[in-house]
Amino acid sequence: MDGERTILRLCTVCHDAMATRHTDAGHGKTFSICDRCQTAARENFIWVCTHCGSVNMQPRQSFLRQLSEAGYEGSRANYAKRQGVLSIDKCMECDPQGVDQAVKAAEQRFASGHC
């Protein structure tokens, strides 16, 4: 043992596998995550609602493109620097008014099928 604490927890994202590592999700939060989700987070943004625990995944490249097309260049630049697993205080379902405006705009564009 190297002194590192081993905490057996289910993966925060899929609730389906044992977490093998922790990831910094921003806002001072740390999530437990499994290997599979860690791999998925390289190609996708994964939002985890800290209020209800719901998980929303979108392909990284297309989400960045959506932000750009929606005119959120500042947000796009911020997201481009961030890793894949992100915490949000409230998801669309928990608080439709309180969601990050950039995320909402992109989600609406996905929902409308615009490409």
- Residues making contact with Zn ion (CB under 5 A): 11, 13-14, 17, 34, 37, 49, 51-52, 54, 91, 94
For the CB of residue 68, give the shortest distance to Zn ion in the complex, in Å.
26
For the CB of residue 14, give the shortest distance to Zn ion in the complex, in Å.
3
For the CB of residue 40, give the shortest distance to Zn ion in the complex, in Å.
8
Per-position DSSP letters for 42-101, written without gaps between them: HHEEEEEETTT--EEEEEHHHHHHHHHHTT-HHHHHHHHHS-SEEEESS-TTT-TTTS-H
Q: What number of residues does the chain have?
A: 115
Q: Which residue, 19 or 105, is less far from Zn ion as judged by CB?
A: 19
